Amino acid sequence: MAFLAFFVYYFVGALPNYYWIEKGFKVNLNELLSRRPNYLMFSSVKSVLVILTLMVTDFAKGIIPLYAGYLLGFTNLELSYLVIALILGHYYPVFNYFQGRLGMMVCIASYTTLGWSVMFVASGIWLVTYLISGYRVVANVLVALFIPVYIYFFLNVAYIIPVVTLSSVIILRHTALLIRTRYGYYLPDCNGLFQRLVRDKDFLI
């Protein structure tokens, strides 16, 4: 049963919600998401609706299968392993030649298997890091690094193996972007606090 569920969760994670959004709104999501800085994403009402729809559907893709798993009788520990299949499906979807998006909303929704507190902690860390650094990739990796520590000290240690595995998948998926960021090939997503300090050293005076 669990073996079959692993494949089901992979295919759920691989569902191309971005494709349906592109068809429905007649936009190119890659072009929209690659704009720098991020406020250009919200330059029109249509852009705002597209971004919000993508966030909501990504979150739904992460959280609905988890509650379906609860109804089917899977334990929290079993669901934490199935989350890995869900994320792998999102990162490497079979419907798009195994080329997926980063989709941190799916990851944050997946943390609800460990409790709502974990999801709120992950969301808070992501938002603060993003506002300071200006990079989504940095915020994503910091969440992946911190959540196993939070689980180990504040929640059930039995979850540490699947959580570390999930974090490793997230970090590996971001490795190339981190290298590009380090050498200046990946521009900041928004005008974060760090970007302002680098540009204007008198910012805080």
Cα Rg, the chain, nearest whole Å: 18
Residue 146 · residue 101 · CB < 8 Å: no
pLDDT at 200 over 70: no
pTM confidence score: 0.75
pLDDT, tens digit (0-9, with 9 covering 90-100), for 76-111: 778 878 888 888 888 888 877 677 777 777 888 878
Rounded Cα gap, residues 151 and 48, in angstroms: 34
Q: Tell whether the torsion through CA atoms of 90, 96, 102 and 104 is positive or negative.
A: negative
Degrees (nearest 5) of the Cα angle 133, 138, 141?
Answer: 150
Residue 125 has pLDDT above 70, yes or no: yes
> Quick check: 85 and 10 in contact, CB under 8 A?
yes
pLDDT score of 150 more than 80: yes
| Cα 15 from Cα 20, distance rounded (Å) | 10
Please tell me the distance from the alpha carbon of residue 130 to that of residue 152, in angstroms, as a whole number.
24
Give the rounded percent of residues in the chain with a pLDDT score beyond 90. 4
pLDDT at position 147 over 50: yes
Q: Which band of pLDDT confidence, cut at 50, 70 and 90, is reported for residue 168?
A: confident
Residue 40 has pLDDT above 60, yes or no: no
Query: What's the pLDDT band for 146 if we cut at 50, 70, 90?
Result: very high
The pLDDT, as a whole number, for residue 87 is 85
Quote the pLDDT of residue 193. 62
Q: For residue range 59-78, list pLDDT tens digits in order.
A: 888 888 888 888 888 887 78
Residue 203 confidence (pLDDT) above 70? no
Task: Determine the 3-state secondary structure of 187 from DSSP.
Answer: coil
Round to whole Å and give the CA distance between 44 and 4.
43
* Predicted local confidence at residue 142, as pLDDT: 92
How many beta carbons lie within 10 A of that of residue 25, not counting itself?
Answer: 16
Q: What is the pLDDT of residue 204?
A: 38
User: How many CA atoms within 13 Å lie on the side-chain side of 44?
Assistant: 6
Residue at token pair 């760090």: 194
How confident is the model at residue 196, as a pLDDT? 55
Q: How far apart are CA 179 and CA 77, in angstroms?
A: 33
Tokens 């994403």 belong to 41
Q: What is the mean pLDDT of the chain?
A: 79
Q: Using alpha carbons only, what angle is made at residue 114 by residues 33 and 82, rounded to the nearest 5 degrees?
A: 70
Give me the residue spans of the domains in the chain.
1-188
Give the single-character DSSP code of 26.
T
The predicted structure's pLDDT at residue 202: 42
